[in-house]
Amino acid sequence: MTCRWTKRQASSSSSFHPDDPEKRPPEPLAGSYGVRASVMAALCLLVMGCTPAAHTIRPYSDDPQEAKALEREAGKACLAVRKGRLAGISAFTTDGCTLYPDGEWAGCCIAHDIRYWCGGSARDRENSDTELRNCVAEKGFPRNGWLMYWGVRLGAHPLLPFPWRWGYGWPWPKGYEDLEGTEGTGP
């Protein structure tokens, strides 16, 4: 919140006195801060809860054929886990390693994105995050694997309104779901 001081108050060297109206800072405009904060929060949730509409990692961002092939692969993987129930899911998109540099481990992140896009149970998510950590470690970067693991464990819960959340292919909010006997299988 921004305090609005008058020129006289800003140059005054005397201290604040709650009982002296001359030395009290002016009150903010009634309700204006709360309304602005509410509007900003609603806009942030709306934007952050959106599902990405395009790939942002090469070659998928530049080559429509490569993108379609990856989308088909993601669709097949998710279809197998959900036993044909994909009505309402958005098209698959990937940004590689979200909020982390794409390195030699970018393929691990794309495979992780496929599982995150599809969603599923809490166990599926934990398995997916463990697979990401192990995949990055197998590429020779165990520390990066652990950093990425904790990043997704802490920052990608399905009820968080982020486009990298678990189950980001589905409209937000969508929590964990047991896929009827497929617990722990993941795409």
Q: Which tens digits make up the pLDDT trace of 53-96? A: 666 666 776 788 988 999 999 999 999 888 877 788 888 999 89
Strands (E), the chain: none
Angle at 126 between CA 121 and CA 128, to 5 degrees: 95
Of residues 18 and 48, the one with the higher pLDDT is 18
**Residues 102/103/105/107 CA torsion (nearest 10 deg):** 50
Distance separating alpha carbons of residues 36 and 144, to the nearest angstrom: 39
Residues near 138 by beta carbon (within 8 Å), at least 6 away in sequence: none
Please tell me which residue, 143 or 19, carries the higher pLDDT value. 143
What totals of helices (H) and strands (E) does the chain contain, helices first?
6, 0
